[in-house]
Amino acid sequence: MIIVNGTLETATQADGGIDASTGLPTEGTVTYGAAVPCQYYPTAMDRLRRSVGEPVTAQSYAVLIEGDSYGGDRVRLKDAAGSTVGVFSVRAVTVLKAVGQVRIDI
C-alpha cells in the first residue's frame, strides 16, 4: 500500500519525419500516458550548483507505484494538486516483490 501524493505519467516519443515540400526535418512529438497514482519523495536536492553563473537545482526522486513491472525511459511527475514537479529520465527500476510495488529512481 502506498500513500498517494502524486501521479506518474510515462512519456512516449513519436519520431519526426521529413517535410515533403521543403525537405527539412519535422519535430517529433512527446505524448504522456495515463496518470498512475504514486508516492514520491526526494532522494537528493542540490541547490548550490551554478551553470553559466545562474543557480541550478539538481534533484532526484524515488517513486513508488503498485504493480509488478514498469517500462519507460522518461516520465513526468506531478504532485497531488496537479502541478508538474518535473520531467525526468528513469535511472533505475527495482521490483519490490514482498510488497507488490515498483520503485523507480528518477
Range of the structural domain that residue 97 is part of: 6-13+27-105
Into how many domains does the chain fold?
1
Q: Is 20 inside any structural domain?
A: no
Q: Is 49 inside any structural domain?
A: yes
| 0.85 surpassed by pTM | no
pLDDT digits (tens, 9 = 90+) for 54-66: 887 788 999 999 9
Q: Is 21 inside any structural domain?
A: no
Query: What is the residue-wise DSSP string for the chain?
Result: -----EEEEEEEEEP--B-TTT--B---EEEE---EEEEEEEEEEEEEEEETTEEEEEEEEEEEEESS----SEEEEEETTS-EEEEEE--EEEEETTTTEEEEE-
Q: Is 34 inside any structural domain?
A: yes
Q: Is 97 inside any structural domain?
A: yes
Q: Is 56 inside any structural domain?
A: yes
Q: Is the pLDDT of residue 44 over 80?
A: yes
Q: Given this model, what pLDDT does residue 104 score?
A: 95
Q: Is 19 inside any structural domain?
A: no
